[in-house]
A and B are shown apart, each in its own frame.
Chain A
Amino acid sequence: MIGLEVLTSFFLEAGFLGIMLFGLNRVGPRLHFFATCMVALGTILSASWILSANSWMQTPDGVAWENGRLVVKDWWQVVVNPSWLVRLPHMLSAAYLTGSFLVAGVGAWYLLKKKHLAFARRTVSIGLAFGSVFIAGQVFIGDILYGTMLKYQPAKMQAVEGFWDKQSVSPAPYLWVIFPDQKNQRNIFEFGTPGLGSIWLTHSLDGRVKGLKNTSVPDQPMMGWVFYGFRTMYVIAIAMFTLAVASLWLRWRGKLFSTRWFLIALVWMTPSGILATLGGWYTAEIGRQPYVIYGLLRTADAVSPVPAGTLLSSLIAFVIIYAIFFTAFLVFVIRAIRRGPDELLGIPAPSGSLKRALRPQIIASTLGKNPIQ
Chain B
Amino acid sequence: MIMDLPVLSASFMAGALCIYVLLDGFDLGVGALLLLEPDERHRDRMVDAIVPTWDGNETWLIMAAVAMLAAFPTAYGVLLPAFYVPLIVMLLSLGLRGVSFEFRYQTTKFRARWDAVFAVGSILVAIIQGAFVGGLIVGVAVDKGAFVGGTFDWLTPFSILFGFVSLTGYAVLGAGWLRLKGEGNTKLFAEKSLLWVTPAFLLLSSVTCVVAYHIQPQINEAWNHHVVYLITLGTVFFWRDWP
B52 A325 Cβ-Cβ under 8 A = no
B51 A14 Cβ-Cβ under 8 A = no
**Interface on chain A toward B: helix, strand, loop, or mixed SS?**
helix
Of the residues B67, B80, B92, contact of A304 by C-beta under 8 Å:
B80
B59 A6 Cβ-Cβ under 8 A = yes
A337 proximal to B (CB < 8 A): no
Q: Tell me the bound Cα distance from A10 to B61 in angstroms.
A: 12
Of the residues B53, B96, B147, contact of A305 by C-beta under 8 Å:
B147
Q: Tell me the bound Cα distance from A318 to B48 in angstroms.
A: 28
Binds B, one of A58-66, A109-117, A175-183, A347-355: A347-355
B99 A325 Cβ-Cβ under 8 A = yes
Q: Tell me the bound Cα distance from A224 to B107 in angstroms.
A: 42
Which residues of A are found within 8 Å of B55, using beta-carbon distances? 14, 17
Residue of B52, B53, B95, B103 with most chain A CB atoms under a 10 A cut-off: B52
Which A residue's beta carbon lies closest to that of B45? A352
A353 B84 Cβ-Cβ under 8 A = no
Q: How far is the CB of B142 from chain A (nearest CB, A)?
A: 11
**Interface on chain B toward A: helix, strand, loop, or mixed SS?**
helix
Which A residue's beta carbon lies closest to that of B63? A6
A332 proximal to B (CB < 8 A): yes
Q: Tell me the bound Cα distance from A354 to B52 in angstroms.
A: 9
Q: How far is the CB of A352 from chain B (nearest CB, A)?
A: 6
Which B residue's beta carbon lies closest to that of A305? B81
Q: How far is the CB of A344 from chain B (nearest CB, A)?
A: 11
Q: How far is the CB of B206 from chain A (nearest CB, A)?
A: 35
Q: How far is the CB of B140 from chain A (nearest CB, A)?
A: 12
Which residues of B are found within 8 Å of A355, using beta-carbon distances? 48, 51, 105
Which residues of B are found within 8 Å of A336, using beta-carbon distances? 106
Interface bits B151-184 vs A (CB < 8 Å: 1, else 0):
1000000000000000000000000000000000
Interface bits A2-26 vs B (CB < 8 Å: 1, else 0):
1100110011001101100010000
A367 proximal to B (CB < 8 A): no
